[in-house]
Structure 1
Amino acid sequence: MEDLPPELLVKILSRLNDSESLARCRVASKTLNLLFREVRAVNLTCTLSRFLKSRSIVVVTPFKTIFRSLIENSCNIRSVSIGVDKALRGLSFDDLNEEDSKDLYLTDVEFAKEWLPRVCEDLEMLSISDFWIQSCWRKSDILALVSSNCSKLVKLEVKNAWLSVVGLREMPNLRHLTLEFIRLDDENLEKVNDCFPFLRVLNLIGVGGLKEPRIHFLHLKSCHWTVSNAPLSLAIVAPNLLELKLKCNKPKSLILETPKLVKFHFSVEDAEGVSFGEFRDLNSLELISPDMYRLISNIRFGNKIRKLAVDSVKSIEQSEKLELGLGTLLQGFPDITSLSLSPRTWSDIETHFQSQGLGHMKGTASLKQITARVQMSDHTNVHQTVSFIRSILNRYRGLTDMRLMIHQDKDPRVRSNLISACMMSNQRVRWKWGMWAEGGEDMWV
């Protein structure tokens, strides 16, 4: 390996995901030890095994000490990632000793002051994933420190921390911001909007402390926002936004001024407070809600949607909701070419069919493909399901592609009977079969 060109060796070393592995390479080879300083990234994660060892009688070098050493022995660093493994999330305050209550507090400004000045001049990417049980009760000014020192920073990620925005300065070069499981002292996101004016990508996942949050970015292209349980008034003003993934429970109101939106993933518990203007370019839509009938009936999503996914999840409050039939679904989206249905949605529309039939549903020439996860409870009659599928195919003559997944716990004989009956009933359709399970990956056969 040492015979390889130095440039290639540096590229190989740069692909190592963990700087501890990089340190082992330094020990194994004089050449690699010399080239180590040319690597432009430092990535260090505290694993659960390392954390447990540090609490045993075995002498373990402190995590922060290792990180500082890596920083000191590198030059021209462009990327820094430091954090704790997700496995540590299951720990509680009882698992800590009094003397090590700050050993993994990574958004500690005093700790950051020890290493950030050495790398801030060329730093383009910074990721800090803190240890929540050490950081949740300590408010950090890390954002102010970073904004004051890292003028070239393009991407910033902070997770599992309590953040203050006092002293936060404008960062015109920042393009990508992720705040995940954060307590943020910025009730309406005013400081975030003002200090990151040229963001292209924004991820706010489980950010608490918000009151009437408003996202306002003129250059934003992609946004992922998971809102807390509080009944908030939400607003997104982003004239150039193309992709939005929004999850909220029961918003008092929701304003979306995103006219160029192309792809929208929308999850909402109660659609009563949801109302916004038509999207002129929306092409792909995924809806997740127990209140699907009202969501589809009351909101105009635009007439350019071609790809639709629907998941009528079970209501947390188990309240009665209006039945969703396939007619209502396709009436709301008459021009779709591809339709994906969750197990519960398929069950809902099949139940509606058994009691109401297809009725006055109009056919549509645009629908080409249906992908569905079929639950088929013990009392479900295979003949009834086949009748439902046949009726759909007879009504929608342009439908030529059926992709059905049956729950993996279903009796193989029932699965076999369903497949045989469907494939014999309509020769013009391309059938694709698979299996699904909760929390697992779909398996096509």
Structure 2
Amino acid sequence: MVANTGQPFETTLIPSIQLFWPFFFFSMEDLPPPLLVEILTRLNDSTDLARCRLASKTLNSLSNEVHYVNLLCTFSRYLKSRSPETKAHVTSFKAIFNNLVREARCLNSISIGVDKSLRDIPYDDVDDESDDLYLTDVGFVKEWLPKVCGELRKLSISDFWIQSCWRKSEVLSFISSCCNGLIELELKNAWLSVDGLNPMTMVTSLTLEFIRLEDEDLNKVNDCFPSLRVLNLVRVGGLKDPKIHLLHLKSCLWIASNAPHSLTIFAPNLVKLRLKCIKPKSLVLDTPLLSDFHLSVEEAYDFRVKEFYNLENLQLESSSLPSLLGMFPSGKSIKKLTVDSLKWTEALERRKFGLEALFDVFPNVVSLNLGPGAWSEAEICFQKGGLDDRNAMKELTEIVAHLVVHDIEVTLSFIYSILDKCTNLSDMALLLQRKEDSRAAISLISNCTTYCPRVKWRWGMRKKGSEDVWVSVGI
């Protein structure tokens, strides 16, 4: 039955449990244990699970049957743990976690971490010697991981950067010593050591985010995770000439936090790659099976890639599109293309990015998306010399254009020239910035539909931080 907690049982219920409120009119013993386990399993936040354990002996016992624990230290909890008025009444975050996993019988997934908002806390507001949220501390991990590692398939630890950044942790090596069945591993906000790292041949997905590593450390990761299919490196600092050499890799996200001298990826089975860096002196890709590629780079001085025979979806963002396109291999296989210019300003008009370059390098594109920077540069180039009489994109059927309208007559002239060259175009979407005059937008779309009624026209407004809003206009 319900334990006496000193307050009505209703007040101990949390919102996720209230979905199952009709069941609680019965005694706990009247509900089948598998159903109760299913209810507890649906709790996304294990803080709620900890509360349920206090509400009933039955819930307390069955909570040990759940297959995953997901515990997050929120910003509000952090503030309460530091406030002189409330900190004496706040249970240690590590103690709550240890209590949850201590008696667990079959955990498949564990996620423990701090909320992203804690990254913004000033260093001056934190005691340098504090370790209450130092979650990659090997001493803390040794308290619980050996007890649950047998069935564990996914492990995620997101540390508190202020407490972890100055302490080199050997948690990765400890994990490799006891988690033989692990498939997915995430480590965030920590300074990692790879000393003593053992091969983890079962792991197919690895995420390292806001991690301090060095080149030789990354080489050890290559050697010890040979079965990786998915690799995410997000703002991993300390790398100068990093190399990825993984034979089975299928998907890779790599967002560089600094400006490494060179970036090299050797992955013969890589299919999807998202790569964001600043100004690498050398960018080398040996990825022959790549089909989906998103490259964001301010400038690449030396861009070397082998022919992309299977590349169909390409997104390019660069502060120097003309030079990047000049180094790009033939893009005859590409069907969907997105292009934008980073940090575009009118002072950069000299770069002379025109649509002709796209027509030459990517002649078989079916769908083209032009970001506001790319459109502005291409329109300025057109204004100076029009569109050259070179081969247009004969296969092109759809354009999405993010417009920044300075002179509506120039914009209309540019659009008309595109329509005249791309004779198979059947769908064109014009997305304007919120600051644009709605009357100008109406005039723009009215003229376009009159000029080329064969095209299905759409227009919309872009609002920063939200999804684009589209309005269909005509056929």
Say yes or no: TM over 0.5: yes
Identity %: 55
Work out whether residues 143 and 163 of structure 1, in 8 Å CA contact, stay in contact via their aligned partners in 2. yes
Q: Which deviates more from structure 2 when the two are superposed, residues 289-298 or residues 161-170?
A: 289-298
2:195 is aligned, of 166, 178, 197, to 166
> Which residue matches 2:209?
180
> Which residue matches 1:430?
456
**Alignment map for 1:185-334 (pairs within 5 Å):** 185-187=214-216, 189-314=218-343, 322-334=351-363
Give CA-to-partner distance per residue, 1:328-354, whole Å, 9 cap, x none. 111110000000011111111111111
> Is the aligned partner of 1:75 residue 2:114?
no
Give CA-to-partner distance per residue, 1:52-74, whole Å, 9 cap, x none. 00112211001111111111132
Q: Label 1:188 to 1:116 Cα distance change in 2 as closer, same or farther (>3 A).
A: closer
- Equivalent-residue separation in structure 1 for 2:386 and 2:278 (angstroms): 33
> Is the aligned partner of 1:383 residue 2:425?
no
1:16 is aligned, of 19, 22, 43, to 43
Query: Which structure 1 residue ranges, 5 or more long, are not aligned?
Result: none
Work out whether residues 406 and 434 of structure 1, in 8 Å CA contact, stay in contact via their aligned partners in 2. yes
- Equivalent-residue separation in structure 2 for 1:439 and 1:74 (angstroms): 41
Work out whether residues 188 and 214 of structure 1, in 8 Å CA contact, stay in contact via their aligned partners in 2. no
- Equivalent-residue separation in structure 1 for 2:375 and 2:241 (angstroms): 36
> Which residue matches 1:62?
92
- Equivalent-residue separation in structure 2 for 1:61 and 1:166 (angstroms): 34
What is the CA-CA distance between 1:210 and the residue it aligns to? 1.7
Work out whether residues 251 and 274 of structure 1, in 8 Å CA contact, stay in contact via their aligned partners in 2. no
- Equivalent-residue separation in structure 2 for 1:186 and 1:126 (angstroms): 24
> Is the aligned partner of 1:352 residue 2:381?
yes
1:85 is aligned, of 109, 112, 115, to 115
Alignment partner of 1:17: what SS? coil
Q: Which deviates more from structure 2 when the two are superposed, residues 5-14 or residues 398-407?
A: 5-14
Q: Label 1:178 to 1:251 Cα distance change in 2 as closer, same or farther (>3 A).
A: same
2:446 is aligned, of 411, 417, 420, to 420
- Equivalent-residue separation in structure 2 for 1:373 and 1:14 (angstroms): 44
Q: In structure 2, give the amino acid aligned to 1:78.
A: N
What is the CA-CA distance between 1:97 and the residue it aligns to? 3.5
What is the CA-CA distance between 1:286 and the residue it aligns to? 0.3
Q: Label 1:188 to 1:254 Cα distance change in 2 as closer, same or farther (>3 A).
A: farther
Give CA-to-partner distance per residue, 1:257-286, whole Å, 9 cap, x none. 110001000111112211222111111000
For normalisation by structure 2, the TM-score amounts to 0.89
- Equivalent-residue separation in structure 2 for 1:320 and 1:134 (angstroms): 46
Work out whether residues 128 and 163 of structure 2, in 8 Å CA contact, stay in contact via their aligned partners in 1. no
> Is the aligned partner of 1:408 residue 2:437?
no
Work out whether residues 282 and 300 of structure 2, in 8 Å CA contact, stay in contact via their aligned partners in 1. no
Query: Which structure 2 residue ranges, 5 or more long, are not aligned?
Result: 1-22, 25-29
Q: Label 1:132 to 1:301 Cα distance change in 2 as closer, same or farther (>3 A).
A: farther
What is the CA-CA distance between 1:365 and the residue it aligns to? 2.1
Task: Tell me how many residue pairs correspond in the alignment.
Answer: 440
- Equivalent-residue separation in structure 1 for 2:424 and 2:141 (angstroms): 61
For normalisation by structure 1, the TM-score amounts to 0.95
Work out whether residues 188 and 210 of structure 1, in 8 Å CA contact, stay in contact via their aligned partners in 2. no
TM-align CA RMSD: 1.8
